Amino acid sequence: MDFKSQLNINEVPNHIAIIMDGNGRWAKSHNKPRVFGHKKGVVSVRNVVEGAGEIGVKYLTLYAFSTENWNRPKVEVAALMQLLVATISNEVSSLNKNNVRLLTIGDLKSLPGNCERELEKAKEKTKNNTGLSLVLALSYSSKSEIVRAVKKIANDVVKNEVKIDAINDNLINDYLDTANVPSPELLIRTSGEYRLSNFLLWQIAYSELYFTNKYWPDFTKEDLFEAVFDYQNRERRFGLTSEQIKN
């Protein structure tokens, strides 16, 4: 089924977030080491970034590495970091060619020095691009992000730069890693798992959730278009009734 041709291009989500899950299980199902699944997952990233750009998505946030992932076997983590460095350096020219701007969220200081340097160089080289903004969540945890935001707000209150009565949703948004990124309308998770895994918990308060059994290395731009098609056939009420929305 050709989902792309059925999309209402005027109702494409402004921001899509994806929990890219299943690389290791995909590799196991193919009798390959886990890192082979991560390498195959890079191909899916390239495919989905291209697809998002084709339909006019403005922001695409990918959950690339969580703070909890540091607890995985050291060999796998080391391989992931090497893959990250190689991928970033190899993809910069492609990002520029496709007018994609690279952004990051998460604790980059916890990444190996070469990873952080490559990321900062890639962000600098793509900062003037005006198409899709690709946001990589690296060493990211939503709870940690919220804790950091609370500490920053508390510090500014102590310095009398923020009044207690001024603390509201909008102010908290301004202190999060995603301060300059709109909240996602659609969150996709691959691999058949039905949980959020500490990802953008504040930001997805009203996001539509879409789950697929496909492992991330098997997820293509057509699967992205299907998820957007499903999104466009839902009624988003934001606490209102159907009748209120229609009227």
Active site residues: 21, 69
Selection from 58, 7, 66, 74 nearest residue 184 by Cα? 58
Per DSSP, helices labelled H in 127-239 are 142-158, 169-175, 221-232
Q: Map tokens 């102590």 to a residue.
A: 158
> Sign of the CA dihedral 180, 48, 140, 80?
negative
Q: Which two tokens stand for residue 80?
A: 């992931």
DSSP secondary structure letter of residue 30: T
* Gap between the Cα atoms of 41 and 43, Å rounded: 5
Are the CB atoms for 217 and 48 separated by under 8 Å? Answer: no
Question: What type of residue sits at position 87?
Answer: T
> Is the Cβ–Cβ distance between 171 and 194 less than 8 Å?
no
**Number of other residues whose CB lies within 10 A of the CB of residue 145:** 25
Provide the edge-to-edge strand list for the sheet that holds 59-66: 101-105, 133-140, 59-66, 15-19, 186-189, 208-211
